[in-house]
Amino acid sequence: MSMTDLLYARAQMGLSLAFHIVFAAAGVALPVLMVLSDWKARRTGDADYVKLSHKLAKGTAILFAVGAVSGTVLSFELGLLWPDFMGQYGEVIGLPFSLEGVAFFTEAIFLGIYLYGRERVSPGLHLFSGIMVAVSGAASAFFVTLVNVFMNDPSGFVATPDGPTQVQPLVAMFSPGWPYQTAHVLLSCYQASAFAMAGIHAFVLLRHPGAAFHRKALSVALPLACVTALLQPLVGDLSAKHVAKAQPVKLAAMESHFETERGAPLRLGGVTVPKALSILAFGDPDAEVRGLNEFPRDTWPPVAKVHAAFQVMVATGSAMALLSLLTLLYRWRKKAWPAGRKMMWAWLISGPMGLVALEAGWLVTEWGRQPWIVRGFMRTADAVTPVPHLAAPFWTFTLVYLFLGIVVVALLKRQVAGTLPDRDEGPVTGRGVKGDDAHVH
Partner 1 sequence: MSTEAMLGFVMAGAFVLYALFGGADFGGGVWDLFASGPRKAEQRTLIARAMGPVWEVNHVWLIVGMVLMFAGFPRAFAALSVALHVPLTLLMLGIVFRGAAFTFRAYDSRGYAAERQWGLVFSIASVVAPLLLGMCVGAVASGDIRVEGRVVVSGFFASWLSPFAWAVGVLALTLFAFLAAVYLTHEAHTEGLREDFRRRALGAGVAVFLAALAVLLLARGGAPRVWEGLLRSPFALVLHGATAVAAVTAFALLWTRRFQWARLAAAFQAGLIVLGWAASQYPYLVVPDITLSGAASSTSTQRVLLVAVVIGALTVVPSIALLFRVFRPRPEGTSTPGPHA
Give the residue, chosen from 7, 14, 101, 276, that forms a contact with partner 1 under the rule CB under 8 A: 101
**440 contacts partner 1 (rule: CB under 8 A):** yes
CA 290 to chain CA centroid, nearest Å: 30
**111 contacts partner 1 (rule: CB under 8 A):** yes
Give the nearer residue to partner 1 in terms of CB position, either 127 or 268: 127
94, 150 contact by CB (below 8 A): no
Q: Name the segment binding partner 1 (CB under 8 A); options: 218-226, 266-274, 352-360, 384-392.
A: 384-392
Q: Name the segment binding partner 1 (CB under 8 A); options: 41-49, 208-216, 366-374, 382-390.
A: 382-390
**411 contacts partner 1 (rule: CB under 8 A):** yes
Number of residues that bind partner 1 (CB under 8 A): 79
Nearest to 184 by CA among 313, 43, 284, 42: 313
Q: State how far the alpha carbon of 339 is from the alpha carbons of 44, 249, 437, in Å.
A: 22, 45, 30
Give the nearer residue to partner 1 in terms of CB position, either 76 or 258: 76
Nearest to 29 by CA among 103, 122, 134: 134
SS3 assignment, position 266: strand
Question: According to CB under 8 A, which residues from 281 to 310 bind partner 1?
Answer: none
Give the nearer residue to partner 1 in terms of CB position, either 44 or 168: 168
**399 contacts partner 1 (rule: CB under 8 A):** no
Nearest to 365 by CA among 187, 190, 185, 194: 185
**406 contacts partner 1 (rule: CB under 8 A):** no
Give the residue, chosen from 386, 422, 426, 432, that forms a contact with partner 1 under the rule CB under 8 A: 386
Nearest to 108 by CA among 72, 70, 166, 64: 64
Give the residue, chosen from 1, 11, 47, 78, that forms a contact with partner 1 under the rule CB under 8 A: 78
Give the nearer residue to partner 1 in terms of CB position, either 73 or 253: 73
Give the nearer residue to partner 1 in terms of CB position, either 29 or 81: 81
**212 contacts partner 1 (rule: CB under 8 A):** no
How near is the Cβ of 425 to partner 1 at its closest, in Å?
19
Question: According to CB under 8 A, which residues from 335 to 354 bind partner 1?
Answer: none
SS3 assignment, position 241: helix
Give the residue, chosen from 6, 22, 50, 95, that forms a contact with partner 1 under the rule CB under 8 A: 95
Give the residue, chosen from 5, 10, 46, 89, that forms a contact with partner 1 under the rule CB under 8 A: 89
Give the nearer residue to partner 1 in terms of CB position, either 297 or 441: 441
**90 contacts partner 1 (rule: CB under 8 A):** yes
Give the residue, chosen from 1, 47, 109, 308, that forms a contact with partner 1 under the rule CB under 8 A: 109
How far apart are alpha carbons 114 and 173 in whole angstroms?
Answer: 31
357, 317 contact by CB (below 8 A): yes
Long-range (24+ apart) CB contacts under 8 A made by 334-342 are 337/215, 337/218, 337/219, 337/222, 339/205, 339/209, 339/210, 339/215, 341/206, 341/209
Bridge-based pairing state of the strands 372-374 and 378-379: antiparallel
Task: Mark 15-44 with x for binding to partner 1 (rule: CB under 8 A) and - for no binding.
Answer: ------------------------------
Q: State how far the alpha carbon of 31 is from the alpha carbons of 68, 121, 184, 438, in Å.
A: 15, 18, 19, 16
Question: According to CB under 8 A, which residues from 119 to 178 bind partner 1?
Answer: 119-121, 132, 165-170
**75 contacts partner 1 (rule: CB under 8 A):** yes
419, 214 contact by CB (below 8 A): yes
